[in-house]
Structure 1
Amino acid sequence: MQPSQLSSGDVIADRRADYAKMLDEGGEAEAAAELMEQALELTPAWAAGWYRLATYREKAGKADAAVEAYRRTLELDPEDIFGAGLKLALLGDAEMPAHPSSRYVERLFDDYADRFETSLVEKLDYSVPQKLAALVASTGRHYHCAVDLGCGTGLLGPEIHARVTRLEGFDLSQNMLAKAAEKHVYDHLGQADLSLTSEASGIFADSAPHRADLVTAADVLMYLGNLESIFAIVDDLTAPGADFVFSVEDGGEGDGFILAPSLRYAHSQTYVEGLAAAHSFEILETVKTVIRKDGGKPVSGILFLTCKTD
């Protein structure tokens, strides 16, 4: 859920916040911030309002004041459903978190579910499902059980359905899972938090470990910084000979990951290769490609086809 959709509970404060939003959309961020400050004088415990104020201050070039408002947001909303912790990291006021708040990611995609495919596919030229499906097809295999991690609305499912006997999908967002169910290609759909350990993630609640001979993750790893939990989950999902096919945003040189202004993470090829080796996944193929547009500009990504060796 976007912060602009959360009411303060005070009619006058909400009205001022609405005017502030109009000013911001008209390119008057400083005036928007001033009006938002007035709204918050009436409702000082309104976390969403503080987040909006922070964004207006940031747009107006007032970084220190924005940091103050993001900090206040986080104090009022310790679950961090707005991603204030990520913003503070980008502004240099906090260390980069290993991953975002799960509540932030869940809320983000619960709100995004109804317009997700229209926005991503039709407007942003999103092509990862087709490109990952091509890597899966290149193996020539038919899989007994495939697990689609971070399945979202199920864009990858139809692309690989003909190559699998059983297809499972997991996502953090219940609204995204509901959209995936409408495609009628998944044999099982469940909620899972990929930032947690295998035991706590929810993926093994009703099903056995080492059941998958294919695991896919299309455009989900950019919502996790440290990918240790993902590789541990996939390790527990698979037996030797299983394939793991996934995408990341290209983090360039180096051996780690970065947090981008988009509030998504980008991972270097070296970092992914190191994790794959540590978890006994041999990289069979890598593809560097444009995975979508963001702000009208192409976003570079890396696709990986890997196989578990032992």
Structure 2
Amino acid sequence: MPPSSTTRSTGDFRADRRYEYARAAFDERDFEAAADLARQVLELAPDFAAAHAMLGRALAELGTREEAVYALRRALVLEPEDALGVRLDLARLGALAPDEAITQGYVRALFDDYAPKFDQHLTKGLAYRGPALIADALRRACSERSRDCRFGLTLDLGCGTGLMAQALDGSCSSFEGVDLSPGMLEKAEKTKLYDALHEGELVSFLSGRANAEADLVVAADVFVYMAALDATFREAHRVLKREGLLAFTVQTHEGEGFILGADARYAHSEAYLRDLAEVVGFKVVIFERVSTREDRGVPVPGFMCVLQR
């Protein structure tokens, strides 16, 4: 289901109430009732994108693919930034390429909605440990090279609420973060650990930075919302100083390239990551299997990577 804050209001009390009933029916897996209620909403408010999305999702669960795709595409026409995340549904139905499934609008809405409960849910509910794994890997990487584990300018991609800055507190002389979500940035600001915070997409952010200005670029569980990583790797390589480090975590799969998983996140293969690092000009320092979080109590497979320019 989409972030609740994206549904907004039809301006019609009856339609809004029926939509909430539809959401409840869907959550209870009564998909016939959810579809029927969504149709009732659309009789009252024909251009309510969330109801078209609800109808499409319910019909998909009922196995009515063509009608589901039609409803979802209608929702996308009405909400082209896709804060509702219907591109994910279309990709699951084979009506959209997997690498087009996740948009900036969807990620922004998802994390704006998630921001108030993010830290507690992630670290306690999902046993999330991405920042701690990255901090430990950086200490080991520096120890192996007999260098002090201290850095100058550090760029935190997809900084979220600031968990990465907390894990590296005291290790970086200057720390800047970028995130799509204003809600997340508001939380990050409260940590007082960032010298600057930027709202925007991370490749565009990197593209605006100077050559060879950073000692470290970190990305904790950010690439799971990105398909191809070519542009990110190239720009990170460009902004890093000689022997600067790129440290990140990803989810992985045993096939080739990258795939869109059932959890609505991208998983990247070992071969894809290693080949891309070599093509861009990175040297692999650490590349090891880890799990940064759990899904229903089961560790999600991934990699912890530290690359050197």
Q: Deviations over 1:17-41 (max 9, x none)?
A: 1112222233312111111111111
Alignment match of 1:171 (pick from 169, 179, 183): 179
Segments of structure 2 that go 5 or more residues without pairing to the other structure are 144-148
Matched, 1:116 2:124: no
Of the three residues 218, 240, 243, the one matched with 1:241 is 243
Correspondences of 1:253-292 after superposition (within 5 Å)? 253-254=255-256, 256-292=257-293
Which residue number corresponds to residue 205 of structure 2?
A: 202
Task: Indicate if the aligned counterparts of 2:57 and 2:89 stay in contact, CA closer than 8 A.
Answer: no
Q: Which amino acid aligns with 1:236?
A: R
Shift of 1:144: 1.4
> Mean alpha-carbon deviation: is it higher for 24-33 or for 108-117?
24-33
Q: How big is each residue's C-alpha offset from its partner over 1:207-236, in whole Å with a ceiling of 9 and x where there is no partner?
A: 633211111000000111011121122022
Deviation string, structure 1 residues 173-196 (Cα, Å, up to 9, x no partner): 1111111111111122112312x4
Structure 1 unaligned runs (5+)?
Answer: none
> 1:300–1:273: structure 2 CA closer, same or farther, 3 Å change rule?
same
Q: CA RMSD of the aligned region, Å?
A: 1.8
Counterpart residue identity of residue 268, structure 1: S
Q: Which amino acid aligns with 1:30?
A: E
Residue 308 of structure 2 is matched in structure 1 by: 307
Q: Deviations over 1:252-285 (max 9, x none)?
A: 222x100112221110011111111111111111
**Equivalents in 2 of 1:16, 1:99: separation in Å?**
28
**Residue equivalent to 1:63:** 65
Compared CA separation, residues 234 and 203, structure 1 to 2 (3 A): closer
Report if aligned partners of 2:34, 2:54 keep a CA contact under 8 Å in 1.
no
Task: Give the match's secondary structure for 1:121.
Answer: helix
CA 1:155–1:278 in structure 2 vs 1: closer, same or farther (change >3 Å)?
same
Residue number among 127, 140, 154 corresponding to 1:146 in the alignment: 154
Amino acid at match of 1:299: V
- Counterpart of 2:182 in structure 1: which amino acid? Q
Percent identity reads 36
1:9 correspondence with 2:11: yes
The verdict on how the C-alpha distance between 1:110 and 1:144 changes in structure 2, with shifts beyond 3 A counting, is: same
Q: 1:51 to 1:296 in 2, by over 3 A?
A: farther
What's the CA shift string for 1:101-128, capped at 9, x where partnerless?
2111111111111111121111011111
User: Following superposition of structure 1 onto structure 2, how do residues 214-253 of structure 1 map, counting pairs within 5 Å?
Assistant: 214-253=216-255
Classify the secondary structure of the residue corresponding to 1:27. Answer: coil
CA distance in 2, matches of 1:242, 1:5: 43
**Is the 1:156–1:218 Cα contact (8 Å) retained in structure 2?**
yes
Other structure's SS at 1:97 match = helix
Matches of 2:69 and 2:173 in 1, distance apart?
51
Q: Distance in 2 between matches of 1:99 and 1:30?
A: 26
> SS in structure 2 opposite 1:136?
helix
Distance change (3 Å), C-alpha of 1:96 and 1:240: same
- Paired residues of 1:136 and 1:160 also in contact (CA < 8 A): no
Aligned residues, how many? 301
Q: SS of 1:162's equivalent?
A: coil
CA distance in 2, matches of 1:22, 1:144: 50
